[in-house]
Amino acid sequence: METALHIAAGAGYREFVEELVKMMTPDELEMQDEDGNTALYFAAASGVREIAKVMVDKNRQLLRIRGSNEAMPLCIAAQSGKQDMVRYLLSVMDDTDLTDLDRIDILCATISSNLFVVASRLIREHPNLALARKGSGETALHVLARMPLAFSSGSQLAIRLRCFFSCTQEVHDLKRGHLPAVKLLELIWGKVSLLDNGGFEELLRELSRLLITAAELGNYGFLTVLSRLHPELLWKFDDRKQSIFHVAVAHRHEKIFGLIYDIGAHKDMIAAYKDENDNNMLHLAGKLAPLSRLNIDSGAALQMRRELLWFKEVEKIVQPSYREMKNSDGRTPHLLFTEEHKDLRQEAEKWMKHTASSCGNDNDTGKPIFLHSRLFMIFTASTALAVFSSATSTLMFLSILTSHYAEEDFLHSLPNRLMLGLGSLFVSIANMMVAFGATHFILLGHDYARIAIPIAAFASGTVTLFALLQFPLLSDLIRHKYNRSLLSHPGERPLF
C-alpha cells in the first residue's frame, strides 16, 4: 500500500520528492500504507529536513496523523535520533498538537537517542515532564539510569561526529567539558526539589530502587551526579537489603564500589549489612562474576586474578568476624569463592600451561657462522642476547608448567612468571631478527642486496607479526602487574 512518495521519502531522494509533491494535492499527501504511515512518517525516519518541509508546507495536517503504534512523525524522528528533523518538527507544530503522553514519549525517545539538548528544551518548556510517566510507568530518570555510556566522556564521540559541521549546544558543552547528559540530570533534579515533602520522600523511595538498576549496569556517572545532588541516596537499601555497593561487588563495577570510601562512617554500617540469604558483602565477592565482566580480561588466568583482587579488596572493609561468617547455606565467603571459581581455576591452569607450551616450543635462535665480516660482531651480540632471553623465557614457561596452581598463585606468582616469560621471548625474537639480517648480509653481501633486502624484510615481517599477535596478552599482564588494587585512592575521586 506504499506510494512512490513513501518510497522516495524513505530513501531520502529530495529532488524527486519535490517533483512528486508538486503533482499531488494536499489530500493525496495524506495517503497511508497498510500500517497507517504517511510519507511524512517515512521522511521523519530518514531525517532529511528538506523533504519534510516541502510536505508540511503543502499540508500541515500531516504533522498530526499517527502511524504505526499510534506514533506521530515527531516521535519517530526522535526514536531514530534525527536531531535536525526533531528540531524542525518541534518548530512547526502547535502546542495543542501533542498530548501529555505524546510529550513524555518524545522526551524519553530523545534521551535514548542522546539528544539531550532537545530533551532539556522540552523540560524547560513543560516542567511537568521531569517526573511524568510513560504508559509503562517509567520516567526520564529511568531512561537515564539505563544509559551508562551517556555519562562517560568517550560516549560523546558520537555527538562530536554528528555535530562536526554544525554549531550546536552539544558542541559548546563539550568544549567547556560539560556532558549534556549530566546537565539534563541536574535540570530534572531541579524540578524534583520543588516537590512537597510527601512527594519528595515518595520519590526518594523509588530512586533507591532505581539506583540499584543503575548500579547493576555500571552507570557510575548517573550515580555520582545524583549522590552529589543528594548524598543520602548512596546509603539507601532496596527490598533485598542491598545497597548500590553490594550490587557493585556482585556485578564487579570497581568505580561504583570505590564510592564507599567517600561516605565516611556510613562505610562500616553498609559493609555490615547482610541480604535475605545471610550473604554479607564478602560472600558477594566470593560468587563468580557475570560473564560480561569476566570477559574484560583476556585469558582465564587474568580473569582468576581479577576475581582474587576483588575478594581481597572487599575483605579489607568488612569486619574480621564477617570473613568466617556462614550464609544460609552454611558456607563461608572463602569456601563460596573456592566452590564458585573451581571451573575457572581449572581453566586458568589449562590456559597457563597451553600458553607456556605454545610459547616454549619456538627454538629459532640461529647458529653462529665464523665469517670475517664487520657484521659479525652485530651477529654475535644479537645471537647471545637472543639465546639468553630465549633461555629465560623457557625457564619461566617451565616453572609455570610445574606450578602447584594454588588459588593464591594466580594473584602474583603465575602472572609475574608469564609476563617475564613473554617479555623475554619478545626480546629473543627482536634479537633473532637482528641476527638473521646480519647473517643474510654476511652471506650474500652488497652484490646481492636486491635479493637480500626483500628476503630479510619478509622474514622479519613474519616474526614481527607473531610479536604483534602476542602483544595484547603482554599488555594485559603489565596492566595487571601495576594494578595491585582495583580501586584508586580516595583522594583521586573528587565526588563532593
- pLDDT confidence tier of residue 464, bands split at 50, 70 and 90: confident
Query: In whole angstroms, what is the distance from residue 123 CA to residue 140 CA?
Result: 10
**Alpha-carbon 305 to chain mean position:** 21
Q: Is the pLDDT confidence value at 478 over 80?
A: no
Q: Mean pLDDT throughout 433-454? A: 68
Query: In whole angstroms, what is the distance from residue 24 CA to residue 82 CA?
Result: 26
| pLDDT single digits (tens) 146-186 | 999 888 754 444 444 444 444 455 445 444 445 788 999 99
**More confident: 372 or 391:** 391
Averaged pLDDT of the chain: 83
Q: Which residues contact 47 (CB under 8 A, 6 or more apart)?
A: 12, 77, 80, 82, 84, 85
Q: What's domain 1-98's architecture? A: Alpha Horseshoe (1.25)
Whether 297 contacts 345, CB under 8 Å: no
pLDDT score for 158: 45
Q: Mean pLDDT throughout 337-357? A: 89
- pLDDT confidence tier of residue 491, bands split at 50, 70 and 90: low
Supply the pTM of this predicted model: 0.71
Q: Which stretches within 152-263 are classed as H helix?
A: 157-162, 169-175, 180-192, 197-216, 220-229, 244-251, 254-258
Here the cell at position 445 is 653481501
Q: Is the pLDDT confidence value at 217 over 70?
A: yes
pLDDT score for 487: 60
Q: Is the pLDDT confidence value at 145 over 80?
A: yes
Rank 76-85, 188-197, 209-218 by mean pLDDT and report only the highest: 76-85
Q: Mean pLDDT throughout 57-83? A: 93
Whether 418 contacts 355, CB under 8 Å: yes
- Say if residue 21 is exposed, middle or buried (CB neighbours under 10 Å; 0-12, 13-18, 19+): buried
pLDDT score for 143: 93
pLDDT score for 18: 95
Least confident of 122-136, 161-175, 281-295: 161-175
Q: Is the pLDDT confidence value at 53 over 70?
A: yes
| pLDDT single digits (tens) 237-271 | 877 778 899 999 999 999 999 888 887 777 888 88
Q: What percent of the chain has pLDDT over 90?
A: 42
pLDDT score for 176: 43
pLDDT score for 360: 58
Q: Which residue has the cell 512518517?
A: 41
- pLDDT confidence tier of residue 87, bands split at 50, 70 and 90: very high
- pLDDT confidence tier of residue 88, bands split at 50, 70 and 90: very high
- In 3D space, the residue among 281, 145, 226, 139 whose CA is nearest the CA of residue 495 turns out to be 226
| pLDDT single digits (tens) 38-52 | 999 999 999 999 999
- In 3D space, the residue among 480, 472, 477, 475 whose CA is nearest the CA of residue 310 turns out to be 480
**Alpha-carbon 434 to chain mean position:** 41
pLDDT score for 456: 67
- In 3D space, the residue among 129, 220, 131 whose CA is nearest the CA of residue 181 turns out to be 220
- In 3D space, the residue among 352, 244, 250 whose CA is nearest the CA of residue 307 turns out to be 250
| Amino acid at the residue 24 | M
The conformation of residue 290, written as its DSSP 8-state character, comes to P
Query: In whole angstroms, what is the distance from residue 76 CA to residue 43 CA?
Result: 10
- pLDDT confidence tier of residue 447, bands split at 50, 70 and 90: low
Least confident of 40-54, 268-282, 305-319: 268-282
Centre a 10 Å sphere on the Cβ of residue 306 and count the other Cβ atoms it contains.
22
pLDDT score for 177: 40
pLDDT score for 449: 60
Q: Where in the chain is the domain with CATH 1.25.40.20?
A: 1-98
Q: Mean pLDDT throughout 348-369? A: 64
